[in-house]
Structure 1
């Protein structure tokens, strides 16, 4: 007889608690579930934990396969006219792959890119490399931020094939590139071969300090909220949280009195890591103050209130010996349309305690959170990530479903990108100016930018739904 249990750890604007079904049988002895059983499992858990469980279809179409069946249950999923709808729940055929991706592990070339049309006819497409992970196959091939891919395995990227070519599951890629010649993007004969591997991403891409006048500025490029690397037993360690602790320890020793947090490519992650990072930067905070709170469906709220008492849904800050908040009066966060979830939780959660200025473009607007649901018996291989709660800060503010509009709008150019950390890079240079009054690059020099038509970041862990259990 199976007993359903749930282990939940606060996860981000998205949480990832994992539903586990305990069994007296060993996984090797379990008979794989039928599609009908999978769909019943999906429906049962959605009725219990889904935030909009009162909006589930009265008569779900059980003739559908498990994946389309799941999406048919979501609240106004395809109704773009409704702003308060479910844009974020998702399901995967492999729960193990889901959990690994949430911890930054996936089969990858080690680079992310953004697509754009090369001409007004929208027939030709380029892909600008946003960043390359150190030690990855792309890095070893010599690919770097700002490189422009125009061919994959001998085929030119077009408006009809670009996603298929550059995101296909092939054993090896041969990338062709273009460069600016006399102001025109021109294909070259240069090619680089890259073979994808299963790779563990370190979320801290860059950390450094700048001294400009009386300002000692800390700068961190942080690409995913994950406490540590994915382990073979499905757990994570705390190596990445500890790395951030050490980085802020260096900032404290150097007397950092201004902070720039670069979350432009950060789709989200563990709320435990968001709490850790917020506690390193927050001003006038302590372990008794609320970082954020959760509102679940009425059934879950009532049950948990009885079990744990009122206040169980409040996530408080934690005490950090390397915190620099006492030296800060404000925080600058660099954002784009790829900044989501736990990243937005940092912005919203810290604003009751300090000034948080955003520079870049409007964020995704993910003010809801989720849990990971999986079957530990092995009978059901699927893993799903349904929205289960809405998030609010200490002042009760939760209405950022349309994203955070930047205090200073700066569009990231797709041609002529500067290296991250370069003082002339568009978003960083604007933050430096806002802090110090010193221009490190001409304002507006990158005003004529290509319009993005998508990004490889959209496929990372559900495309803005990276929520992991600690």
Structure 2
């Protein structure tokens, strides 16, 4: 009996040892399976693993990320391979590598449209925007100038994009400014432009008196940090002048900070206060849904005091906004998110359609292993009434094409087609043409048959609403 008991004990001990061995092996296998391999810092595998982990947490479309990925690919190629098909605007850059940036005209300070001209059939460039104190302005370029040659090469339909790329990839280039003489384009002067530093652009503001009304006009290039605070002087002038209406010119404004858009709204609309809901962010399951008040959005970075904005507030019930296909991101937030507060009349063209927001994601580890910086779409945007969904752009209430009347006028001149239409909306009357015969002659000589490319619209494609969440 004792011998049998001993055999049973040895057998039980044997099976118990096997059981614990099996559990240990299973645990080890599971641990090895779950544990991610470690890759050398700076390697494509290391960078791409960080990209994927970040996207799984923040990316709006994180639940549809593809599987079976090649993590040995170059980081930009990898990032583009995992972007959702509906994602038009997310991007990734390496701040230490300029080749990873999308080329643009920011270092030169001008934008232009390339058109096919109706009368002569010739392809010509029209300068649309020249930034103040920029290489372009210092070289003498002006809004409304015409270009017929780039680096000595005549503009054509076939080479328009190639010549634009030459500008973007160079530090120095030459433009030939042309003029139309007896239905023939002739060279006027050669302009050389080199890359240079461009400071923040100030607003253009003025008071226009028309048909007994005082109308405020405000042109803004972007929504850079500190804008709302800098606008308090202009709005103080509007209040002192006793304006009854405001025209907000965002035709080339490709956006920027939500905070500055909120600050501008606080300067314009009636019935505003700190706690008024302003914007709703809808993210993935991790981000959830967040509604932010007007005051919180406008003051999060401490650049402006909300009471200061309220002191300059115009208390308007209606605003007229000038927009084009280059009007994007934070500019569209202004258009959409003012609507619960007041009547918004959009004049011009359908806007770009950026109803999404991003924030910068970089490696927060110490020491940092990844030098890349991501700007993925994190949120879809809605106003305080829950209205958003303008990815196809916001349609104008009053359609106007600024190229319908040439030459282009300077910002704030009442003969500008967009501004003229806005003033007509304010007063209910058509604006009499200034020097009508000259205007009709120039319009008859020069008309747009086809727009081939627009550098400002291309720049708007790379802009994203920037939020602090």
TM-score with structure 1 setting the length:
0.79
Q: What is the CA–CA distance in structure 2 between the aligned matches of 1:378 and 1:159, rounded to whole Å? A: 47
Question: 2-side partners of 1:466 and 1:312: how far apart?
Answer: 16
Secondary structure in structure 2 of the residue aligned to 1:198: coil
Shift of 1:157: 2.3
1:95, CA displacement in angstroms? 7.2
Alpha-carbon shift at residue 452 of structure 1 (Å) = 2.4
Report the Cα distance in structure 2 between the residues aligned to 1:96 and 1:278, rounded to whole angstroms.
Answer: 37
2:50 counterpart residue number: 41
- 1:175 is matched with 175
Task: Indicate the SS of the match to 1:464.
Answer: coil
Tell me what 2:200 maps to.
Answer: 201
> Equivalent of 1:400, from 390, 394, 400?
390
Name the counterpart of 2:208. 210
Larger RCO of the pair (alpha carbons < 8 Å, separation 6+): 1
1:138 aligns with 2:129: no
Q: Is 1:291 the counterpart of 2:274 in the alignment?
A: no
In the alignment, which of 286, 292, 301 is matched to residue 314 of structure 1? 292
Residue by residue over 1:186-228, the C-alpha shift from the partner in whole angstroms, topping out at 9 and shown as x without a partner, is 13141111111132231x341111122332111111111112x
Query: How far apart are the structure 2 equivalents of 1:175 and 1:108?
Result: 16
Is residue 356–residue 464 contact of structure 2 (8 Å, CA) maintained in 1?
no
2:371 counterpart residue number: 381
Does structure 1 retain, via aligned residues, the 8 Å contact 2:269–2:317? Answer: no
Report matched runs for 1:172-321 at 5 Å. 172-182=172-182, 184=183, 186-202=185-201, 204-227=202-225, 238=226, 240-301=227-288, 312-317=290-295, 318-319=306-307, 320-321=309-310
1:150/1:177 contact within 8 Å kept? yes
The C-alpha deviation readout for 1:7-44, integer Å capped at 9, x for no partner, is: xxxxxxxxxxxxxxxxxxxxxxxx96122211111111
Q: Following the alignment from structure 1 to structure 2, what is the Cα–Cα distance between the partners of residues 407 and 398?
A: 17
Distance apart, 1:381 and its partner CA: 2.7
Q: Closer, same or farther in 2 for the Cα pair 1:36/1:159, shift >3 Å?
A: farther
Structure 1 pair 133/322, CA: closer, same or farther in 2 (3 Å)?
A: farther
Q: Is the 8 A contact 1:371 1:386 kept in 2?
A: yes
1:338 pairs with 2:326: yes
1: CA distance between counterparts of 2:401 and 2:335?
A: 19
**CA distance 1:417–1:178, shift in 2 (3 Å):** same
Residues in 1 aligned to 2:329 and 2:74: alpha-carbon distance in whole angstroms:
29
CA contact (8 A) 1:106 1:198 kept: no
What secondary structure, in the 3-state scheme, does the structure 1 residue paired with 2:71 have? Answer: coil
The SS at the match of 1:241 is: helix
- Seen in structure 2, the aligned counterparts of structure 1 residues 295 and 39 have a Cα distance that, compared at 3 Å, is same
Contact 2:281 2:290 in 1 (8 A): no
What CA distance in whole angstroms lies between the structure 2 residues aligned with 1:178 and 1:196?
23
Q: Does 1:70 align with 2:79?
A: yes
Q: 1:287 to 1:96 in 2, by over 3 A?
A: farther
Q: Deviations over 1:144-180 (max 9, x none)?
A: 0011112122112233433332333323221112222
| Match of residue 90 from structure 1 | 91
Q: 1:285 to 1:450 in 2, by over 3 A?
A: farther
- Following the alignment from structure 1 to structure 2, what is the Cα–Cα distance between the partners of residues 37 and 365? 35
> Hey, what's the Cα distance between the residues in 1 that align with 2:192 and 2:267?
41
Q: Is the 8 A contact 1:267 1:466 kept in 2?
A: no
| Cα deviation code 1:39-64 (max 9, x no counterpart) | 11111111110001011112223343
SS of 2:186 mapped into structure 1: strand
The 8 Å contact of residues 150 and 156 in structure 1, kept in 2 or not, is answered as yes
1:248–1:280 contact (8 Å) kept in structure 2: yes
Per the alignment, residue 312 of structure 2 pairs with 323
SS of residue matched to 2:336? helix
**Gaps spanning 5+ residues in structure 2: where?**
1-39, 296-305
**Residue 116 of structure 1, CA deviation:** 1.9
Q: Give the TM-score taking structure 2 as reference length.
A: 0.79
SS at match of 2:424: helix
Q: Deviations over 1:265-310 (max 9, x none)?
A: 0111000111111111112221121111111111222xxxxxxxxx
Asked if 2 retains the 8 angstrom alpha-carbon contact of 1:341 and 1:465, the reply is yes
Unaligned runs of 5+ in 1: 1-30, 77-84, 228-237, 302-310
